[in-house]
Amino acid sequence: MIDRRMFPLMFAVFINIAGFSLILPLLPFYGPLFGAGAFEVALLFAAYSLGNVFGEIYWGRQSDRWGRRAVLVFTTTGAALTYVAFAFAPVLWLAIAIRIVNGFFGGTLSVAQGFLADASPPEQRAKAMGLFGSAFSLGFAFGPVIGGVFAGAGTSLADFRSPILIAAGLSAIAAIWSLVVLRDVNPPAGKARPLPKYSEGFAYVLTSPLLFRLFVISFFGIAAFASSEAVYGLWSEANFGWTARDLGFAFIAIGLGGLVVQLFLLHPLVVRFGEGRVITAGLLVIAASMLLQPILRDPYVAVALMGMLMVGHSLAFPTAGALTSRTAPVERQGSVMGLIMASNAFSRIVAPPAFGLIYEKAGHDVPWLAGAAMIVLFAVPFAIQLAGLTKRRAA
């Protein structure tokens, strides 16, 4: 049975992700008020990921020293303050800098996962991670709706202050909840664990056919997914005249698509077809949804296709992450998992601005086609090979 101490953590994760995702539908409309083009709007998306990289490395280690609860209280408080600063940022460069700091305080998924590992025995770990994924997806579904509903007409920066301050309020609630309700499962160790030896992990990955393919798949697949999020608001505004409110409701499809897959479909599909085939299917679903957006070009279909995009994401990448963890030996777990986290974060940093530039210079439909082509050419062939490797290993 799953430890009841994890349920307060799930609520904290839900509140925190709702606050983070609340901002996403606002950025394509908030950025242009600073005079930002598509490239700069994509930078606002990528800036959070840049801070996230350093946050995940730093806070995960510090949670060993101070305790998971203390770190979650401190970081959610910091996130609340940076949301307030973001709401009143006077110029674009300062807004981007604040997003980086906000991402640093938001880099606590490794802390939450560490809490889960503390509270769940190994045989219950998969269920615990499924519960974590469900809380994440639920927050991702509700947050953008709140952001869209409370956004104003979008003609001035002041129109977006209310939803951004609500995001600050949600982070403050998460901080109070973590302080009052959460309790550490294990006492703090008093010292931070050593940094993973990434060079050793990199050398090991290059010698492992399975891990090498998983890294390539995750890098290109997550790059395409993150880029589609960055251009979706700009593209839908240009094609359908959507506002931040319309985009917020459209993001429901993204969150609910992930929630349905993680609650009901992922485990049975992996058991029935194996990890390699599920990852391949997820990548093909992502590529198909991206390819169909500019072809079908209908507002209702656009929402359905974004839900389909999240379905593919929820099939491919949690499965890839779980397979990576099981494939890496115990003595290499820290370096390999830390390396894949850094690799995925790097793809979320570099790809959105690149696709924003493509959107700006090559045409509004080109990022969708480029993302689909990137997955089909660079990720799917490795996923097909992966299916063969996992099948032989199981045999």
pLDDT in tens, 87-130: 999 999 999 999 999 999 998 888 887 887 777 776 666 667 77
The pLDDT of residue 395 is above 60: no
Q: Tell whether 183 and 209 lie within a shared domain.
A: no
Number of separate domains in the chain: 2
Q: Tell whether 345 and 218 lie within a shared domain.
A: yes
Q: What is the mean pLDDT of residues 8-22?
A: 89
Stated pTM of the model: 0.90
The pLDDT of residue 3 is above 80: no
Residue 17 in contact with residue 109, Cβ under 8 Å? Answer: no
The pLDDT of residue 293 is above 80: yes
Q: Final residue of a domain: which of 167, 193, 219?
A: 193
Q: Tell whether 225 and 322 lie within a shared domain.
A: yes
User: What digits encode the pLDDT tens for the residues 184-224?
Assistant: 888 887 777 777 677 777 888 888 999 999 999 999 999 99
Residue 50 in contact with residue 349, Cβ under 8 Å? Answer: yes
Share of the chain above pLDDT 90, in %: 57
* Mean per-residue pLDDT of the chain: 89
Q: How many residues does the chain have?
A: 395
Q: What is the mean pLDDT of residues 129-152?
A: 85
DSSP 8-class letter at 365: T
228 or 121: which leads in pLDDT: 228
Helices and strands counted in the chain (H then E): 17, 0
Using alpha carbons only, what angle is made at residue 251 by residues 320 and 341, rounded to the nearest 5 degrees? 30
Q: Final residue of a domain: which of 193, 213, 248?
A: 193
Q: Tell whether 135 and 95 lie within a shared domain.
A: yes
CATH number, position 56: 1.20.1250.20
The pLDDT of residue 56 is above 90: no
Q: Final residue of a domain: which of 171, 193, 215?
A: 193
The reported pLDDT for the residue numbered 4 is 67
Look up the domain containing 285 and give its range.
196-395
321 or 359: which leads in pLDDT: 359
The pLDDT of residue 83 is above 70: yes
Q: Tell whether 13 and 65 lie within a shared domain.
A: yes
Q: Tell whether 337 and 268 lie within a shared domain.
A: yes
Residue 332 in contact with residue 200, Cβ under 8 Å? Answer: yes
